[in-house]
A = this chain, B = another copy of it.
Amino acid sequence: MTQREAARVLDHPEVSEIRLEGVLHALSDPVRLTIVRDLAAMDTELACSHFELPVTKSTTTHHFRVLRESGVVRQCYRGTTKLNGLRRAELAELFPGLLDSVLTAAAAEEARITG
- Stretch in contact with the other chain, from A3-11, A45-53, A75-83, A90-98: A90-98
Count the A residues whose beta carbon is within 8 Å of the partner chain — how many?
Answer: 26
Residue numbers in B under 8 Å from A25 (CB-CB): 24-25, 28
Complex CA distance for A23 and B55, rounded to whole angstroms? 23
Complex CA distance for A94 and B112, rounded to whole angstroms? 10
Report whether A20 and B97 are in contact in the complex, using a CB–CB cutoff of 8 Å.
no
Residues 1-56 (chain A) with a chain B CB within 8 angstroms: 16, 19-22, 24-25, 27-30, 33
- Please indicate which of the listed interface residues A21, A27, A112 has the most CB atoms of chain B within 10 Å of its own CB: A21
18 pairs from A and B in contact (CB 8 Å cutoff): A16-B112, A19-B109, A20-B105, A20-B106, A21-B28, A21-B33, A22-B28, A24-B27, A24-B28, A25-B28, A94-B109, A95-B101, A95-B104, A95-B105, A95-B108, A97-B100, A98-B101, A98-B102
Known contacts A21-B28, A94-B108, A97-B101; can you find 7 more A-B pairs with CB under 8 A? Answer: A16-B112, A20-B102, A20-B109, A21-B29, A21-B30, A95-B101, A95-B105
